[in-house]
Structure 1
C-alpha cells in the first residue's frame, strides 16, 4: 500500500477524532482572517480615524489571537497524538520506522491544515462583512458596508498558519521519536493515580490552596487603596497566590473532599457515585495542571471582556460626568449661541451658576491613610457655588446656618479615596475662615470636568458664597472660571443636534479659555461629542476583546471536550461490562452527567470567582457601571460552557449506545 493511500485510510478511520479539531481549525482561521481583513476595510478605517490607537489595537489583538490559536492547536495536537499512541505503536510493531510514521502523521496534518485554511479563508471573507457591520454598529457609524477582499490579509493568514503548521509538525515529530514502543501502548494510562487513602499532607496542601485563593481575593479588594505600597508587587502577589491556590485546590482539595464523601458512604456507592466520583479522583493528578490553566484562561478572558464592556456600557454616563448638559459655556460666552438658537427657533432651557473658590485642608476630609497620597501640603482649592444657584437643579434643598453639601465627587477618585458624610470642614481664604457642616455628599456632576478637573464642589449658603466672591475679586488661585451656563435642547432629534453642534462651534460658545503661555485656545465639548468619542474608543476595544474572548472560549472549551472524548474512549470497555450486567443507558448517563458538572462546572465557577474579584478591584477606572456588564458577560460564558458540556454528554451517549 502506498503512503498516500495509507494516509487517506488513516484519516478516514480517525475522522471521529478529527472532526471537532478540524472544525476548530476552520473557526480559528475564519476568526483570524476576518479580523485581519477588518484592518484594511475602508469603512472601518473611516470610522476609526478619530482614534489614533485603533490600528495599533487591531494589530496587537491579531498577535494575541494568534498566540491563543497556537496554544490551543499545540495542546489539541498533543491530546490527539496521545489518543493515537496505540495506533502509532502498531505501525512500528509491523515494521514501519519512526521516520515513516512521522511522515504519515505529517501528511495528515498538512492535508488538515490545507483544508482548514482554505475553507476558513472563504468563510472569513463571507463573515468579514458581518463583523464589519457589528463593529460599525458598536461605533454608531453609518456607512454602506461592502465585502472587502485584502491580499495582505490572505498573505498574513498563510504566513501565520504556515508557521503554526511547522511548529505542529516539529512537536509531532519530537513526540513520536522520543517515545519507546512500550510507552506508546501505555501512554493513555501513565498519568492516572489510584488513591487508596489520604494522609495529612494532601489535607494541609488543600487547605493551603483555599487559603491562598482567599488571600488573593482579599489583596485584590485593597489593591488600589492607600494600604498598597507597591502596586506592581501587589499585582504579582495576587497573581501568584490565585494561580498557585487554584492548582492546589484541583490537585489536593477536590480529591480530598470527594474521598471524604466516599468514606461517608461506608462503601455503599451507587452507580452514579462510581461513574462520577471515582474517575475524577483517579485522574485529578493528571488533570490538575490543565484544569488550572483552563480556569485561569477563563478568568483572564472574562475579566478583560467585562472591563472593556464596562467602558463601552458607561460611554453615555461617563460623558454626563464630564459634560453635565447638552452644551456648556463659561464666562458669558453663550450670548451669540443662544441668539443663533432663537433665530433657528430651536427650543432650549438654560441654567447659569456663578462660581468662586476657597481653600480647604484635605486632612479634615480624608482619613490618615488616604491623606498620605497628598504629601506634606494638604491644602487644596475647591470650587464653591451658592445655594440659590444650586436650587435650579434641586429646588428642595435647604441649608441651615453653617450647613453645606459636597457634590460632583464621583468616578474613580470617589472609589479610591471615599468621603463619608457628615463631616466638619473649614473653607479658608487667607486669614478668613468659614466653618461649615457637610450634611450630604452627592455624586451628580453639576460642572463640566474642564472646570473642576475632577475635584469636588461645595454648595454653601448665599451669604458665605457672596463673602468668598468679594474676597476673590482681583485675586485668583490659578485660573478660576467665574460662571457656567448649561444649555439643554427640548425634544431635539439627531438632525437638530448636528445643526446645533455647528452653531456651538461657529459662535465660539465652546471656547473654554486661551492659554497665556502658548496662545492655544482650550475648547469645551458637547455631551453628544463626548459620547461619540467614547463609543469610538471603547467600541473598537470591546470588539477586539470580544474576539479574543471568543478565541479563549473556543480554546478552553475545546480542550475540555477533547479530554473528555479521550476519557470516554478509554472507559468504553467499562460501559460494555456495565451494560452486559443489566445497567440501562439512563443509569449510566446520570453518573456521566454528574461527572461533566464537575469537569465543566468547577473550572467555570472558580474562573467566575477569579474574574469577579479581578473586575471588582478596579472596575471604576473603566466606567461607571459594573453589575450589568459583568452579569451579561458571565451569562455568555456560562452558556458557552453549557454548550460544550452538552456536546460532551452527547459523545458519551454515543459511546454507551455502541457498548452493546
Structure 2
C-alpha cells in the first residue's frame, strides 16, 4: 500500500479525527473568498464610486480574517496532530521511518486542505451574490447583482492558503521529527501542572483587579474627553484580563477545593478537580478568547449602533442641506443656485441664511485650528441659525466681555474652558472675552467650520468696523424641505457651481455615511462570526482532546458506581465554567466600552449591546451543547 492510499484510507476510516480541521479550513476559505470577491467586483466598485476609503475597509478586514484564519487553522491542525501522536508511534513500531510518517502527515494535510479549499470556493461562488445583495441592502444601494467569478480573489486565496499549508506541514514534520518513539507514545498521558497558589498569586490577583478597575475608570470618565488615553486604557484592560484568567480565576478554583463543607456535595469533587488539573493549561487560551470576543462584540455593537444614527450624524456635521462659501455675498453664485433650483420642481427652500464670519487670531493654547484662527459671530444670527436648524441651543450674553465658545476638535466638549479668557488680536487692537458656556455642536458644515466665539451684536459690529475685508468670510446655507430626495438637484448643482465655492451638502455626507456604516456593519458581522466560530471551536478542540485523554478515568468512575447522568452533570459544570468565564469577562469589557463609545459618538448603543450579547450567548450555548455531546460520546467510547 502506498502512502497516498494509506492517507486516503485513514481519512475515510477516521474522518472524525479530521472533520474539525476540514470544517475550520472550509469556513476560512469561504469567508476570505467572499471578501476578496467583493473587493474585486466591478459592480460594487461602481456603486461605491471608486473611493479608496471603502476599498481599504474591505482590504483591512480581509487581512484581519486571513490572519485569524491562519491562527484558527494552525490551532485545529495542532490538535489533530497531537491526538494522532500515538498512532504515528505505532506506525514506527511496525517499521515506518520518521520520514515516511512525516510524508504521510503531509499527504493527509494536502488532501484535507485541498478538499476544504475546493469546498470553501464552491460555497463562496454559491453565496457570493447573496452577500453582495446583503451588502447593498446595508449601504442603501439599489440595483441588479450579477454573478461574477473573480480570478483575482481565487488567486489570492490560493497564495494565502498555500502559505498556510506550507507552514502547518513544516509544523507537523517538526512535531514528528522532534519527538522520540517513547514521547510520541506517552504524548496523551503527559499530565499538566495542577494549580499552585502562593502569595505571588494573591499579589498578581490584586494587580489584575487594579488594572481592570483603572482601565474601566479611565474609559468611562476620561476617554471621551482625551482620546489619547485610548492606548493606555486598552493596555490596562487587556493585561488585566490576561492576569485575571491566570491568577484570579485560579484562586476561585483553589478556594473551591478548600471549601470542605461544600466540596463533597454531589459531583462537585469531579468538576473542581478537573478544573484544578486542567485549568492552568487553558488559562492562556481563555484569556485570548475573552480579548478577541471583546473586540468582536465592540465592532458589531458599534456598527449596528451607528447604522440607525446615520441621518442624525450627517445632520450634525452638515446641518444645512446645501452650503457654500459666498465671498462678499456674490450675486452670481446665488444666481447659479437658483437657476439649478428652477429645473427641479421637487425641491423647495425652507430657510436661507447668509452668515458673515470675522476671522481673527488667538494666542490661547486650546485653539486647535491652523494658524490659531478663530471665527467671530453675533449672537442674534447664531440664535436664528439654531432656530432654522431645529437646535434648542440659544445664547444670551449679559456683558460685552462675555462669549459663548463653540469648539471644534474634541470628541466631547471640554468644559474646563468655561471661565477662562480668550485673547484675540487684530493689528493694534486686542480683545479679551470670558467663556460663559461651551459645546461642540456644529451650526455650519464641519469642512467650513473653525472654532467660533459668539459675542454680543454690538461687540461684533465694533470688531467688524475695525477690520479689512480679508478677515471676513461669508457662507450661504439653505435648508430644503425634502433634502433626502435631492440627489439629482445636488448632482446638477455640483456640476455648475465653481469648486472655489466649496459646496457641501447634507445628502452627500448622508450617502457616504450610510455606505461607510453599512460596510462597517457588514464587515463587523463577518468578523464577529469568524471570531465566534474560531473561539468556540478552540474550546471545542481542547475539550474533545482532553476527553480522549481522560476516557479511562471516566470508565473507572463508572465501574465504581457513578452513573452517566452524574458524569454528565460534572462535565457540564466544567464546560459552563470554561465557556462562561471568557464570555462574562468579554461582556463586562464590552459594556464599559459601550458606555465610552456612547459618549464619544453621542449615540445610544445600549439596545445594540443587549441584542448582540443575547445573540452571542445563544450561539455560544449551541457550541456548549455540541461540545458537551461530543465530550460525553468520547468518554463513553470503549477502545
Change (3 A) 1:60 1:442: closer
Alpha-carbon distance change, 407 to 62 in structure 1, aligned in 2, over 3 angstroms = same
C-alpha contact (below 8 Å) 1:357/1:384 kept by paired residues: no
Deviations 1:531-567 (A, max 9, x none): 1122334444443444333333322221111111112
Equivalent in 581, 606, 618 of residue 602 of structure 1? 581
Please point out which of 552, 561, 568 is paired with 2:531: 552
1:501 aligns with 2:490: yes
- The match for 1:315 among 304, 310, 313 is 310
Match in the other structure for 2:445: 448
Q: Which residue matches 2:257?
A: 262
Instruction: Tell me by how many angstroms 1:160 deviates.
Output: 2.2
Gaps of 5+ in 1: 364-370, 512-519
Q: What SS does the corresponding residue of 1:256 show, helix, strand or coil?
A: helix
Q: 2:502 aligns with which of 523, 530, 541?
A: 523
**2:60 and 2:226 mapped to 1: Cα distance?**
34
Is the CA contact (8 Å cut-off) linking 1:308 and 1:542 kept in structure 2?
yes
Q: Matched residues in 2 for 1:625 and 1:381: separation?
A: 31
1:25 corresponds in structure 2 to 25
Distance apart, 1:54 and its partner CA:
3.5
Query: Closer, same or farther in 2 for the Cα pair 1:457/1:594, shift >3 Å?
Result: farther
Shift of 1:147: 1.2
**2:148: which partner in 1?**
148
RMSD over aligned Cα atoms: 3.9
The CA deviation at 1:638 is 3.5
In structure 1, the residue matched to 2:351 is 350
Is the partner of 1:49 in helix, strand or coil?
Answer: coil
Rounded to whole Å, the distance in 1 between the matches of 2:60 and 2:410 is 30
Question: Matched residues in 1 for 2:92 and 2:238: separation?
Answer: 41
Matched, 1:183 2:178: no
CA displacement 1:327-351 (0-9 Å, x = unmatched): 3356555566457646754444114
Stretch moving more, 312-321 or 537-546: 537-546
Residue 528 (structure 1) shift: 1.0
| DSSP 3-state at the match of 1:352 | strand
Contact 1:310 1:623 in 2 (8 A): no
| Structure 1 residues 432 and 97: alpha-carbon distance in aligned structure 2, compared to 1, 3 A threshold | closer
Decide whether the 8 Å contact of 2:307 with 2:518 is kept in 1.
Answer: yes
Moved more, 574-583 or 79-88: 574-583
Secondary structure of the residue aligned to 1:532 is helix
Q: Contact 2:358–2:472 (CA<8 Å) still a contact in 1?
A: yes
Correspondence for 1:285: 280
Residue 20 of structure 1 deviates from its aligned partner by 2.6
Displacement of 1:87 in angstroms is 1.9
What is the CA-CA distance between 1:25 and the residue it aligns to?
1.1
1:198-217 to 2 correspondence within 5 Å?
198-217=197-216
Partners of 2:567 and 2:526 lie apart in 1 by 38
Secondary structure of 2:351's match?
Answer: strand
SS in 2 for 1:447: coil
Distance 1:449 1:522 in 2: 15
Question: Are positions 1:489 and 2:481 aligned together?
Answer: yes
| Separation in 2, partners of 1:506, 1:640 | 51
Tell me if the contact between 1:353 and 1:385 (Cα under 8 Å) persists in the aligned partners. no
Q: C-alpha deviations, 1:223-272, integer Å up to 9, x for none?
A: 758889xx5xx766555554443333222221211221232234742344
User: Match of 1:472?
Assistant: 464
Identify if the C-alpha distance between structure 1 residues 12 and 505 changes in structure 2 by more than 3 Å, giving closer, same or farther. Answer: closer
1:85 CA displacement: 2.2
**What TM-score do the two structures reach when normalised by structure 1?**
0.82
Q: Please identify, of 77-86 and 185-194, the stretch whose mean Cα deviation from structure 2 is larger.
A: 185-194
Deviation per CA, 1:105-153, whole angstroms, max 9, x where unpaired?
A: 2222111112111111111111111221122223322221111112232
**Larger deviation: 325-334 or 257-266?**
325-334
Measure, in 2, the Cα distance between the counterparts of 1:480 and 1:650: 75
Instruction: From the superposition, tell whether residues 207 and 13 of structure 1 become closer, same or farther in structure 2 (CA, over 3 Å).
Output: farther
User: In the alignment, is the contact (CA less than 8 A) between 1:307 and 1:622 conserved in 2?
Assistant: no
The verdict on how the C-alpha distance between 1:506 and 1:479 changes in structure 2, with shifts beyond 3 A counting, is: farther
**Worse-superposed segment, 171-180 or 3-12:** 3-12
| Aligned equivalents of 2:340, 2:243: Cα separation in 1 | 70
Partner of 2:166: 166
Distance in 2, Cα, partners of 1:476 & 1:310: 47
Contact 1:320–1:445 at 8 Å: present in 2 too?
no
Structure 1 residues 646, 383: closer, same or farther in 2, change over 3 A?
A: farther
Matched position secondary structure for 1:148: coil
1:579 deviates by 3.9
Change (3 A) 1:428 1:36: closer
Please, which runs of 5 or more residues in structure 2 have no aligned partner?
none
Contact 1:210 1:249 in 2 (8 A): yes
Instruction: Give the conservation status (yes or no) of the 8 Å contact 1:427–1:433.
Output: yes
> Is the CA contact 1:219–1:238 (under 8 Å) kept in the aligned structure 2?
yes
Q: Which residue of 2 aligns with 1:517?
A: none
**In 2 relative to 1, CA 114–349 (structure 1 residues): closer, same or farther, beyond 3 Å?**
same
CA contact (8 A) 1:91 1:101 kept: yes
* C-alpha distance 549-613 of structure 1, shift in aligned 2 (>3 A): same
Q: TM-score, normalised by structure 2?
A: 0.84
2:410 maps to what in 1?
413
Could you tell me whether the CA contact under 8 Å between 1:224 and 1:618 is conserved in 2?
A: no
Asked whether the equivalents of residues 385 and 457 of structure 1 are also in contact (C-alpha less than 8 Å), the reply is no
The residue number in structure 2 matching 1:81 is 81
Q: 1:497-535, CA deviations, whole angstroms, 9 ceiling, x for partnerless residues? A: 234324544664xx6xxxxxxxx6142222111111223
Report the CA distance between 1:181 and its aligned residue. Answer: 2.1
Aligned residue number for residue 572 of structure 1: 551
* Counterpart for residue 243 of structure 2: 248
Whether 2:64 is the aligned partner of 1:64: answer: yes
Q: 1:141 to 1:259 in 2, by over 3 A?
A: same
Tell me, in whole angstroms, the C-alpha distance in 2 between the residues paired with 1:113 and 1:394.
59
Q: For the residues of structure 1 that align with 2:172 and 2:393, how far apart are their CA atoms? A: 75
Supply the distance in 2 between the matched residues of 1:632 and 1:50 (Cα, whole angstroms). 34
Tell me, in whole angstroms, the C-alpha distance in 2 between the residues paired with 1:275 and 1:123: 43
Contact 1:311/1:623 (8 A) holds in 2 = no
Task: Measure, in 2, the Cα distance between the counterparts of 1:170 and 1:414.
Answer: 49
Q: CA deviation at 1:467?
A: 4.2
CA distance 1:472–1:617, shift in 2 (3 Å):
same
**Residue correspondences, number:** 626
